[in-house]
Structure 1
Amino acid sequence: MNDQVSFGYEDVPIEEKTARVGAVFSAVAKKYDVMNDAMSGGMHRLWKDQFVRRVKPREGEQILDMAGGTGDIAFRMAERGATVTVSDINQDMLDVGIERAMERGFDDLVWSRQNAEELTFPDRFFDAYTIAFGIRNVTRIDKALAEAHRVLKHGGRFYCLEFSTTEWPGFKEVYDAYSHKLVPWLGEKIAGDAESYRYLIESIRRFPPMREFEAMIREAGFARTKVEPILGGLVAIHSGWKI
Protein backbone atom coordinates (compact mmCIF):
# COMPACT_ATOMS: atom_id res chain seq x y z
CA MET A 1 0.00 0.00 0.00
CA ASN A 2 1.44 3.38 -1.05
CA ASP A 3 1.30 5.78 1.88
CA GLN A 4 2.89 8.65 -0.06
CA VAL A 5 1.05 11.33 -2.06
CA SER A 6 2.23 14.28 -4.10
CA PHE A 7 2.74 17.72 -2.61
CA GLY A 8 3.83 19.68 -5.64
CA TYR A 9 6.88 17.86 -6.97
CA GLU A 10 7.52 16.21 -3.60
CA ASP A 11 6.12 12.90 -2.38
CA VAL A 12 5.07 13.18 1.27
CA PRO A 13 3.25 10.97 3.79
CA ILE A 14 -0.53 11.08 3.49
CA GLU A 15 -1.01 12.58 6.94
CA GLU A 16 1.46 15.37 6.14
CA LYS A 17 -0.11 16.60 2.92
CA THR A 18 -3.38 17.84 4.45
CA ALA A 19 -1.51 19.98 6.97
CA ARG A 20 0.89 21.39 4.39
CA VAL A 21 -1.90 22.26 1.94
CA GLY A 22 -3.77 23.90 4.82
CA ALA A 23 -0.75 26.05 5.58
CA VAL A 24 -0.52 27.12 1.92
CA PHE A 25 -4.13 28.28 1.77
CA SER A 26 -3.98 30.01 5.15
CA ALA A 27 -0.99 31.93 3.80
CA VAL A 28 -2.66 32.99 0.54
CA ALA A 29 -6.29 33.45 1.69
CA LYS A 30 -6.39 37.24 1.89
CA LYS A 31 -4.68 37.76 -1.49
CA TYR A 32 -6.26 34.74 -3.21
CA ASP A 33 -8.65 36.60 -5.48
CA VAL A 34 -6.19 39.38 -6.34
CA MET A 35 -3.64 36.74 -7.33
CA ASN A 36 -6.21 34.86 -9.42
CA ASP A 37 -6.75 38.02 -11.45
CA ALA A 38 -3.01 38.62 -11.81
CA MET A 39 -2.14 35.03 -12.76
CA SER A 40 -4.94 34.55 -15.30
CA GLY A 41 -5.30 38.09 -16.61
CA GLY A 42 -8.84 38.01 -15.25
CA MET A 43 -9.76 34.97 -17.35
CA HIS A 44 -10.64 32.93 -14.24
CA ARG A 45 -13.83 35.01 -14.03
CA LEU A 46 -14.86 33.89 -17.53
CA TRP A 47 -14.03 30.26 -16.72
CA LYS A 48 -16.15 30.42 -13.57
CA ASP A 49 -19.05 32.03 -15.46
CA GLN A 50 -18.90 29.23 -18.04
CA PHE A 51 -18.69 26.62 -15.28
CA VAL A 52 -21.83 27.91 -13.54
CA ARG A 53 -23.70 28.03 -16.85
CA ARG A 54 -22.95 24.31 -17.23
CA VAL A 55 -24.12 23.56 -13.68
CA LYS A 56 -27.45 25.35 -14.37
CA PRO A 57 -28.34 26.08 -10.73
CA ARG A 58 -32.06 26.51 -10.21
CA GLU A 59 -34.28 28.02 -7.57
CA GLY A 60 -35.00 25.61 -4.74
CA GLU A 61 -32.02 23.35 -5.39
CA GLN A 62 -29.60 22.37 -2.66
CA ILE A 63 -26.03 22.67 -3.95
CA LEU A 64 -22.78 21.87 -2.17
CA ASP A 65 -19.87 24.01 -3.31
CA MET A 66 -16.81 22.18 -1.99
CA ALA A 67 -13.46 23.97 -1.59
CA GLY A 68 -15.56 27.07 -2.17
CA GLY A 69 -13.71 29.19 0.39
CA THR A 70 -13.85 32.71 -0.97
CA GLY A 71 -17.33 32.31 -2.45
CA ASP A 72 -16.70 32.98 -6.14
CA ILE A 73 -18.76 30.05 -7.40
CA ALA A 74 -21.33 30.18 -4.59
CA PHE A 75 -22.19 33.82 -5.26
CA ARG A 76 -22.85 33.07 -8.92
CA MET A 77 -25.12 30.12 -8.08
CA ALA A 78 -26.97 31.97 -5.32
CA GLU A 79 -27.80 34.72 -7.81
CA ARG A 80 -29.72 32.07 -9.76
CA GLY A 81 -31.83 31.12 -6.74
CA ALA A 82 -30.09 27.97 -5.52
CA THR A 83 -29.55 27.29 -1.83
CA VAL A 84 -25.79 26.93 -1.57
CA THR A 85 -23.69 25.38 1.17
CA VAL A 86 -20.11 26.62 0.91
CA SER A 87 -17.61 24.17 2.36
CA ASP A 88 -13.85 24.27 2.72
CA ILE A 89 -11.32 22.50 4.90
CA ASN A 90 -9.58 25.81 5.56
CA GLN A 91 -11.23 28.23 7.99
CA ASP A 92 -9.11 31.18 6.80
CA MET A 93 -10.53 30.77 3.28
CA LEU A 94 -14.07 30.51 4.67
CA ASP A 95 -13.53 33.66 6.73
CA VAL A 96 -12.57 35.57 3.60
CA GLY A 97 -15.68 34.24 1.85
CA ILE A 98 -17.98 35.16 4.74
CA GLU A 99 -16.60 38.69 4.78
CA ARG A 100 -17.10 39.02 1.03
CA ALA A 101 -20.65 37.64 1.30
CA MET A 102 -21.52 40.24 3.94
CA GLU A 103 -20.16 43.01 1.73
CA ARG A 104 -22.23 41.78 -1.22
CA GLY A 105 -25.43 41.09 0.68
CA PHE A 106 -25.48 37.29 0.32
CA ASP A 107 -27.24 36.46 3.58
CA ASP A 108 -28.63 33.02 2.74
CA LEU A 109 -25.44 31.08 2.12
CA VAL A 110 -24.56 28.25 4.51
CA TRP A 111 -20.89 28.09 5.53
CA SER A 112 -19.48 24.80 6.79
CA ARG A 113 -15.91 23.70 7.46
CA GLN A 114 -15.58 20.26 5.89
CA ASN A 115 -12.97 17.77 4.76
CA ALA A 116 -13.92 16.69 1.23
CA GLU A 117 -12.84 13.13 2.07
CA GLU A 118 -15.10 12.83 5.12
CA LEU A 119 -18.21 14.97 4.70
CA THR A 120 -20.64 15.17 7.62
CA PHE A 121 -23.69 15.66 5.39
CA PRO A 122 -26.30 12.89 5.11
CA ASP A 123 -26.64 10.57 2.12
CA ARG A 124 -28.60 11.79 -0.91
CA PHE A 125 -28.94 15.37 0.34
CA PHE A 126 -27.75 17.64 -2.51
CA ASP A 127 -29.01 18.20 -6.06
CA ALA A 128 -25.55 19.20 -7.28
CA TYR A 129 -21.94 19.12 -6.07
CA THR A 130 -19.45 21.64 -7.42
CA ILE A 131 -15.73 22.03 -6.84
CA ALA A 132 -13.61 24.63 -8.63
CA PHE A 133 -9.80 24.57 -8.54
CA GLY A 134 -9.87 22.48 -5.39
CA ILE A 135 -9.85 18.77 -6.23
CA ARG A 136 -6.12 18.68 -7.02
CA ASN A 137 -5.34 19.80 -3.46
CA VAL A 138 -7.29 16.96 -1.86
CA THR A 139 -5.06 14.31 -0.29
CA ARG A 140 -7.08 11.30 -1.48
CA ILE A 141 -9.04 12.28 -4.57
CA ASP A 142 -10.80 8.92 -4.83
CA LYS A 143 -12.28 9.38 -1.35
CA ALA A 144 -13.49 12.90 -2.18
CA LEU A 145 -15.18 11.64 -5.34
CA ALA A 146 -16.83 8.82 -3.41
CA GLU A 147 -18.14 11.32 -0.86
CA ALA A 148 -19.45 13.56 -3.64
CA HIS A 149 -21.38 10.59 -5.02
CA ARG A 150 -22.71 9.66 -1.57
CA VAL A 151 -24.17 13.07 -0.70
CA LEU A 152 -25.86 13.55 -4.09
CA LYS A 153 -29.49 12.64 -4.65
CA HIS A 154 -30.42 10.13 -7.32
CA GLY A 155 -30.25 12.19 -10.50
CA GLY A 156 -27.79 14.62 -8.93
CA ARG A 157 -24.93 16.10 -10.89
CA PHE A 158 -21.22 16.54 -10.23
CA TYR A 159 -19.25 19.41 -11.73
CA CYS A 160 -15.55 20.09 -11.33
CA LEU A 161 -13.50 22.96 -12.76
CA GLU A 162 -9.78 22.25 -12.64
CA PHE A 163 -6.50 23.01 -14.33
CA SER A 164 -5.16 20.31 -16.62
CA THR A 165 -2.61 20.00 -19.42
CA THR A 166 -3.21 21.92 -22.62
CA GLU A 167 -3.04 19.88 -25.80
CA TRP A 168 -2.48 22.87 -28.09
CA PRO A 169 0.89 22.50 -29.86
CA GLY A 170 3.39 25.08 -28.65
CA PHE A 171 1.10 26.58 -26.03
CA LYS A 172 2.10 24.06 -23.37
CA GLU A 173 5.75 25.12 -23.52
CA VAL A 174 4.86 28.83 -23.32
CA TYR A 175 2.52 28.24 -20.39
CA ASP A 176 5.05 26.06 -18.55
CA ALA A 177 7.67 28.78 -18.78
CA TYR A 178 5.18 31.44 -17.66
CA SER A 179 3.80 29.46 -14.74
CA HIS A 180 7.08 28.20 -13.32
CA LYS A 181 8.88 31.54 -13.53
CA LEU A 182 6.35 34.36 -13.48
CA VAL A 183 3.70 33.01 -11.10
CA PRO A 184 6.05 32.60 -8.09
CA TRP A 185 7.42 36.08 -8.87
CA LEU A 186 3.87 37.50 -8.83
CA GLY A 187 3.23 35.61 -5.60
CA GLU A 188 6.22 37.31 -4.01
CA LYS A 189 5.35 40.79 -5.30
CA ILE A 190 1.59 40.72 -4.61
CA ALA A 191 1.16 38.28 -1.72
CA GLY A 192 4.69 38.24 -0.28
CA ASP A 193 4.75 34.46 -0.74
CA ALA A 194 6.54 32.86 -3.69
CA GLU A 195 6.68 29.36 -2.21
CA SER A 196 2.92 28.88 -1.83
CA TYR A 197 2.37 29.81 -5.46
CA ARG A 198 5.25 27.59 -6.56
CA TYR A 199 3.40 24.71 -4.87
CA LEU A 200 0.11 25.63 -6.56
CA ILE A 201 1.75 25.49 -10.00
CA GLU A 202 3.52 22.23 -9.19
CA SER A 203 0.21 20.73 -8.01
CA ILE A 204 -1.24 21.42 -11.46
CA ARG A 205 1.62 19.50 -13.08
CA ARG A 206 1.04 16.48 -10.82
CA PHE A 207 -2.74 16.37 -11.40
CA PRO A 208 -3.96 13.52 -13.65
CA PRO A 209 -4.56 14.30 -17.35
CA MET A 210 -8.16 14.98 -18.39
CA ARG A 211 -9.09 11.48 -19.55
CA GLU A 212 -7.44 9.85 -16.55
CA PHE A 213 -9.38 12.07 -14.16
CA GLU A 214 -12.60 11.37 -16.08
CA ALA A 215 -11.96 7.66 -15.49
CA MET A 216 -11.60 8.35 -11.76
CA ILE A 217 -14.99 10.08 -11.78
CA ARG A 218 -16.55 7.02 -13.46
CA GLU A 219 -14.88 4.71 -10.96
CA ALA A 220 -16.56 6.68 -8.16
CA GLY A 221 -19.92 5.64 -9.60
CA PHE A 222 -20.83 8.55 -11.86
CA ALA A 223 -22.41 8.00 -15.27
CA ARG A 224 -22.55 10.09 -18.46
CA THR A 225 -19.18 11.64 -17.62
CA LYS A 226 -17.92 14.42 -19.83
CA VAL A 227 -14.84 16.62 -20.21
CA GLU A 228 -15.03 20.11 -21.71
CA PRO A 229 -11.52 21.48 -22.38
CA ILE A 230 -10.90 25.23 -22.24
CA LEU A 231 -7.81 26.65 -23.98
CA GLY A 232 -6.99 23.21 -25.27
CA GLY A 233 -7.20 21.66 -21.82
CA LEU A 234 -5.32 24.27 -19.79
CA VAL A 235 -8.56 24.26 -17.79
CA ALA A 236 -11.31 21.65 -18.02
CA ILE A 237 -14.89 21.28 -16.85
CA HIS A 238 -15.59 17.71 -15.73
CA SER A 239 -19.10 16.44 -15.11
CA GLY A 240 -21.00 13.30 -14.24
CA TRP A 241 -24.42 12.16 -13.02
CA LYS A 242 -25.56 9.94 -10.18
CA ILE A 243 -28.11 7.70 -11.90
Structure 2
Amino acid sequence: MNDMMSLGIHRVWKDHFVRSLNPGIRYASLHDEHKGQRILDIAGGSGDIAIRMLDHATNINKDNKTHVTISDINPDMLGEGRKRLSQTPYQAEGRVDYLEANAEELNSIGSNSIDLYTVAFGIRNFTHKEKALKEAFRVLKPGGVFACLEFAPHLSNPLLNGLYKRWSFSAIPLIGQIVAADRDSYQYLVESIERFPSQPEFARMIQDAGFLIPGQKPDGSCIESGWENLSMGIAAIHKGVKPL
Protein backbone atom coordinates (compact mmCIF):
# COMPACT_ATOMS: atom_id res chain seq x y z
CA MET A 1 0.00 0.00 0.00
CA ASN A 2 2.79 2.42 0.88
CA ASP A 3 4.30 1.74 -2.54
CA MET A 4 1.13 2.90 -4.27
CA MET A 5 0.56 5.99 -2.14
CA SER A 6 4.20 7.12 -2.29
CA LEU A 7 4.80 6.05 -5.89
CA GLY A 8 7.47 3.73 -4.51
CA ILE A 9 9.62 6.27 -2.67
CA HIS A 10 8.56 5.57 0.93
CA ARG A 11 11.85 3.71 1.43
CA VAL A 12 13.77 6.88 0.58
CA TRP A 13 11.59 8.80 3.03
CA LYS A 14 12.28 6.25 5.77
CA ASP A 15 16.02 6.48 5.18
CA HIS A 16 15.85 10.27 5.37
CA PHE A 17 13.65 10.09 8.49
CA VAL A 18 16.22 7.98 10.31
CA ARG A 19 19.17 10.10 9.17
CA SER A 20 17.40 13.23 10.39
CA LEU A 21 17.14 11.67 13.86
CA ASN A 22 20.75 10.41 13.94
CA PRO A 23 19.97 7.60 16.41
CA GLY A 24 22.63 6.31 18.76
CA ILE A 25 25.30 7.83 20.99
CA ARG A 26 28.50 8.68 19.12
CA TYR A 27 31.19 6.11 19.96
CA ALA A 28 29.10 4.69 22.82
CA SER A 29 30.74 1.32 22.22
CA LEU A 30 34.07 2.75 23.36
CA HIS A 31 32.81 4.13 26.67
CA ASP A 32 31.49 1.97 29.48
CA GLU A 33 29.51 4.85 30.99
CA HIS A 34 27.38 5.23 27.85
CA LYS A 35 24.41 2.89 27.64
CA GLY A 36 23.20 3.98 24.23
CA GLN A 37 19.72 5.25 23.52
CA ARG A 38 16.43 3.61 24.36
CA ILE A 39 14.17 3.93 21.32
CA LEU A 40 10.46 3.08 21.15
CA ASP A 41 9.14 2.44 17.63
CA ILE A 42 5.35 2.53 17.63
CA ALA A 43 3.27 0.73 14.98
CA GLY A 44 6.62 -0.67 13.92
CA GLY A 45 5.77 -4.34 13.63
CA SER A 46 7.35 -4.75 10.20
CA GLY A 47 10.77 -3.86 11.61
CA ASP A 48 11.45 -1.37 8.81
CA ILE A 49 12.31 1.56 11.06
CA ALA A 50 13.92 -0.47 13.84
CA ILE A 51 16.43 -2.05 11.47
CA ARG A 52 17.29 1.33 9.99
CA MET A 53 17.71 2.81 13.47
CA LEU A 54 20.02 0.06 14.65
CA ASP A 55 21.99 0.09 11.39
CA HIS A 56 22.54 3.84 11.74
CA ALA A 57 23.49 3.66 15.42
CA THR A 58 25.92 0.81 14.76
CA ASN A 59 27.49 1.83 11.47
CA ILE A 60 27.40 5.63 11.65
CA ASN A 61 27.66 6.36 15.37
CA LYS A 62 29.70 3.26 16.31
CA ASP A 63 27.14 2.50 19.01
CA ASN A 64 26.36 -1.16 19.65
CA LYS A 65 24.38 -0.42 22.82
CA THR A 66 21.34 1.48 21.58
CA HIS A 67 18.19 -0.61 22.01
CA VAL A 68 14.86 -0.52 20.15
CA THR A 69 11.50 -1.69 21.46
CA ILE A 70 9.17 -2.46 18.56
CA SER A 71 5.57 -1.94 19.60
CA ASP A 72 2.51 -2.85 17.56
CA ILE A 73 -1.11 -3.61 18.37
CA ASN A 74 -1.11 -6.35 15.70
CA PRO A 75 0.60 -9.59 16.79
CA ASP A 76 0.91 -10.79 13.20
CA MET A 77 2.91 -7.68 12.29
CA LEU A 78 5.17 -8.24 15.30
CA GLY A 79 5.72 -11.77 14.02
CA GLU A 80 6.88 -10.36 10.70
CA GLY A 81 9.27 -8.06 12.53
CA ARG A 82 10.71 -10.97 14.52
CA LYS A 83 11.37 -12.86 11.30
CA ARG A 84 13.18 -9.90 9.75
CA LEU A 85 15.20 -9.07 12.85
CA SER A 86 16.23 -12.72 13.22
CA GLN A 87 18.21 -12.24 10.01
CA THR A 88 20.23 -9.42 11.59
CA PRO A 89 22.72 -9.56 14.48
CA TYR A 90 20.58 -7.28 16.63
CA GLN A 91 18.15 -9.90 17.94
CA ALA A 92 20.94 -12.21 19.10
CA GLU A 93 22.70 -9.25 20.72
CA GLY A 94 19.60 -8.41 22.74
CA ARG A 95 19.28 -4.95 21.19
CA VAL A 96 15.65 -5.31 20.20
CA ASP A 97 12.50 -6.48 21.93
CA TYR A 98 8.82 -6.60 21.06
CA LEU A 99 5.71 -5.25 22.72
CA GLU A 100 2.12 -5.94 21.74
CA ALA A 101 0.37 -2.79 22.90
CA ASN A 102 -2.04 -0.02 22.04
CA ALA A 103 -0.15 3.24 21.54
CA GLU A 104 -2.85 5.00 23.54
CA GLU A 105 -2.11 2.89 26.64
CA LEU A 106 1.58 2.04 27.01
CA ASN A 107 1.16 0.74 30.54
CA SER A 108 4.29 -1.42 30.48
CA ILE A 109 6.53 1.52 29.51
CA GLY A 110 7.70 3.62 32.43
CA SER A 111 7.36 7.37 32.53
CA ASN A 112 10.46 9.36 31.55
CA SER A 113 12.20 6.24 30.25
CA ILE A 114 12.51 6.68 26.46
CA ASP A 115 15.05 8.78 24.55
CA LEU A 116 13.39 8.65 21.13
CA TYR A 117 9.79 7.79 20.20
CA THR A 118 9.15 7.09 16.51
CA VAL A 119 6.02 6.27 14.54
CA ALA A 120 6.06 5.87 10.75
CA PHE A 121 2.88 5.56 8.69
CA GLY A 122 0.86 4.50 11.71
CA ILE A 123 -0.53 7.41 13.67
CA ARG A 124 -3.24 8.24 11.15
CA ASN A 125 -4.87 4.91 12.10
CA PHE A 126 -4.99 5.66 15.83
CA THR A 127 -8.51 6.13 17.17
CA HIS A 128 -7.54 8.81 19.68
CA LYS A 129 -4.47 10.60 18.36
CA GLU A 130 -4.42 13.14 21.19
CA LYS A 131 -4.28 10.33 23.76
CA ALA A 132 -1.41 8.66 21.91
CA LEU A 133 0.51 11.94 21.84
CA LYS A 134 -0.01 12.33 25.59
CA GLU A 135 1.36 8.81 26.11
CA ALA A 136 4.36 9.65 23.95
CA PHE A 137 4.98 12.70 26.12
CA ARG A 138 4.68 10.62 29.29
CA VAL A 139 7.14 7.90 28.33
CA LEU A 140 9.80 10.23 26.90
CA LYS A 141 12.59 11.52 29.09
CA PRO A 142 12.93 15.29 29.46
CA GLY A 143 14.78 16.31 26.30
CA GLY A 144 13.47 13.22 24.51
CA VAL A 145 12.23 13.47 20.92
CA PHE A 146 8.89 12.53 19.38
CA ALA A 147 9.23 11.91 15.63
CA CYS A 148 6.49 11.00 13.18
CA LEU A 149 6.62 10.19 9.47
CA GLU A 150 3.17 10.21 7.91
CA PHE A 151 1.29 10.82 4.69
CA ALA A 152 -0.18 14.31 4.43
CA PRO A 153 -3.67 15.14 3.14
CA HIS A 154 -2.64 17.90 0.72
CA LEU A 155 0.32 18.54 -1.57
CA SER A 156 1.93 21.96 -1.49
CA ASN A 157 1.35 22.52 -5.24
CA PRO A 158 -2.39 22.98 -5.99
CA LEU A 159 -2.16 21.59 -9.53
CA LEU A 160 -0.23 18.50 -8.48
CA ASN A 161 -2.53 18.13 -5.48
CA GLY A 162 -5.50 17.82 -7.81
CA LEU A 163 -3.75 15.19 -9.91
CA TYR A 164 -2.65 13.27 -6.83
CA LYS A 165 -6.20 13.28 -5.43
CA ARG A 166 -7.54 11.83 -8.66
CA TRP A 167 -4.84 9.16 -8.60
CA SER A 168 -5.56 8.38 -4.96
CA PHE A 169 -9.34 8.13 -5.08
CA SER A 170 -9.74 6.67 -8.57
CA ALA A 171 -6.73 4.53 -9.35
CA ILE A 172 -5.56 3.16 -6.02
CA PRO A 173 -8.78 1.40 -4.93
CA LEU A 174 -9.09 -0.08 -8.42
CA ILE A 175 -5.49 -1.30 -8.34
CA GLY A 176 -6.13 -2.80 -4.91
CA GLN A 177 -9.10 -4.67 -6.30
CA ILE A 178 -7.14 -6.00 -9.27
CA VAL A 179 -3.84 -6.79 -7.55
CA ALA A 180 -4.95 -7.84 -4.07
CA ALA A 181 -8.69 -8.48 -4.49
CA ASP A 182 -9.13 -5.99 -1.66
CA ARG A 183 -10.67 -2.73 -2.79
CA ASP A 184 -11.96 -1.84 0.68
CA SER A 185 -8.54 -1.77 2.37
CA TYR A 186 -7.09 0.46 -0.31
CA GLN A 187 -10.14 2.71 -0.19
CA TYR A 188 -9.66 2.99 3.58
CA LEU A 189 -6.00 3.89 3.08
CA VAL A 190 -6.89 6.80 0.81
CA GLU A 191 -9.67 8.01 3.09
CA SER A 192 -7.52 7.76 6.24
CA ILE A 193 -4.92 10.03 4.64
CA GLU A 194 -7.60 12.51 3.59
CA ARG A 195 -8.92 12.64 7.17
CA PHE A 196 -5.50 13.13 8.74
CA PRO A 197 -4.82 16.66 10.05
CA SER A 198 -2.90 19.08 7.87
CA GLN A 199 0.71 19.80 8.77
CA PRO A 200 -0.10 22.96 10.79
CA GLU A 201 -3.01 21.21 12.54
CA PHE A 202 -0.93 18.18 13.51
CA ALA A 203 1.95 20.38 14.68
CA ARG A 204 -0.54 22.15 16.93
CA MET A 205 -1.72 18.80 18.31
CA ILE A 206 1.87 17.87 19.14
CA GLN A 207 2.32 21.22 20.86
CA ASP A 208 -0.93 20.79 22.80
CA ALA A 209 0.38 17.46 24.13
CA GLY A 210 3.18 19.41 25.83
CA PHE A 211 5.99 19.24 23.30
CA LEU A 212 8.19 22.06 22.11
CA ILE A 213 7.92 22.43 18.34
CA PRO A 214 10.71 23.53 15.97
CA GLY A 215 9.95 27.08 14.89
CA GLN A 216 7.74 27.77 17.90
CA LYS A 217 8.00 31.31 19.27
CA PRO A 218 9.32 31.66 22.84
CA ASP A 219 5.84 32.40 24.18
CA GLY A 220 4.42 29.40 22.33
CA SER A 221 1.91 31.62 20.57
CA CYS A 222 2.66 30.57 16.99
CA ILE A 223 4.18 27.67 15.12
CA GLU A 224 6.30 28.95 12.25
CA SER A 225 7.12 25.50 10.91
CA GLY A 226 7.60 22.30 12.90
CA TRP A 227 7.51 19.84 10.03
CA GLU A 228 9.42 18.87 6.90
CA ASN A 229 7.49 18.18 3.72
CA LEU A 230 8.69 15.29 1.58
CA SER A 231 8.08 15.07 -2.17
CA MET A 232 6.07 18.30 -2.27
CA GLY A 233 4.00 17.29 0.72
CA ILE A 234 2.93 13.75 -0.12
CA ALA A 235 4.33 12.97 3.32
CA ALA A 236 5.81 14.98 6.17
CA ILE A 237 8.12 14.52 9.14
CA HIS A 238 6.91 16.03 12.42
CA LYS A 239 9.02 16.41 15.55
CA GLY A 240 8.52 17.56 19.10
CA VAL A 241 10.85 17.77 22.10
CA LYS A 242 9.81 17.15 25.70
CA PRO A 243 10.93 20.15 27.76
CA LEU A 244 13.78 19.70 30.22
Q: TM-score over 0.5 for the alignment?
A: yes
Aligned equivalent of 1:238: 238
Residue 140 in structure 1 maps to residue 124 in structure 2: no
1:94 lines up with 2:78 in the alignment: yes
Partners of 1:86 and 1:110 within 8 A in 2: yes
Percent identity over paired residues: 48
Aligned to 1:183: 172
Contact 2:212 2:241 in 1 (8 A): yes
Structure 1 partner of 2:212: 223
Distance (Å, rounded) in 1 between the aligned partners of 2:122 and 2:79: 17
Tell me how far apart the structure 1 counterparts of residues 5 and 88 of structure 2 sit (CA, whole Å). Answer: 24
The normalised TM-score by structure 1 is: 0.82
Alignment correspondent of 1:48: 14
Q: Deviations over 1:86-143 (max 9, x none)?
A: 0011111111111122234441311111101000201001101000111110000000
- The equivalent of 2:28 in structure 1 is none
Tell me, in whole angstroms, the C-alpha distance in 1 between the residues paired with 2:185 and 2:88: 28
Letter in 2 for 1:111: Y
Q: Secondary structure at the match of 1:221?
A: coil
For 1:109, the equivalent position in structure 2 comes to 96
Output the amino acid matched with 1:95: G
Cα distance change, pair 36–104 in 1 and its aligned pair in 2 (3 A) = farther
* 2:45 matched residue in structure 1: 69
Report the equivalent of 2:32: none
2:162 to 162, 173, 190: 173
Distance 1:46 1:154 in 2: 30
Distance 1:36 1:109 in 2: 24
Gaps in structure 2 of 5+ consecutive residues: 26-35, 58-65, 215-225
Q: What's the counterpart of residue 118 of structure 1?
A: 105
Task: Within 5 Å, give how 1:148-167 maps onto structure 2.
Answer: 148-164=136-152, 165-167=154-156
The structure richer in strand per residue is 1
Structure 1: runs of 5+ lacking an equivalent: 1-34
Instruction: Confirm or deny: 8 A CA contact 2:19 2:56 kept in the other structure.
Output: no
Q: For residue 18 of structure 2, give the secondary structure of its aligned residue in structure 1.
A: helix
**Do the aligned partners of residues 232 and 37 (structure 1) sit closer, same or farther apart at CA in structure 2, a change above 3 Å counting?**
closer
- Match for 1:208 among 186, 197, 212? 197
Match in the other structure for 1:21? none
Structure whose residues are more often helix by fraction: 1
Contact preservation (8 Å) 1:210, 1:233: no
CA contact (8 A) 2:40 2:116 kept: yes
Larger Cα Rg: Structure 1 or Structure 2?
2
- Which residue of 2 is the match for residue 31 of structure 1? none
1:224 partner letter: I
CA distance change for structure 1 residues 36 and 153 in 2, over 3 Å: closer, same or farther? same
Secondary structure in structure 1 of the residue aligned to 2:50: helix
The one of the two structures with greater contact order (alpha-carbon pairs below 8 A, sep at least 6) is 1
Contact kept, 8 Å, 1:136 with 1:162, in 2: the verdict is yes
Residues 68-90 of structure 1: CA deviation (Å, up to 9, x unaligned): 11011111001123311000111
Indicate the residue corresponding to 1:78 in structure 2. 54
Closer, same or farther: CA 100–205 of 1 in aligned 2, 3 Å: same
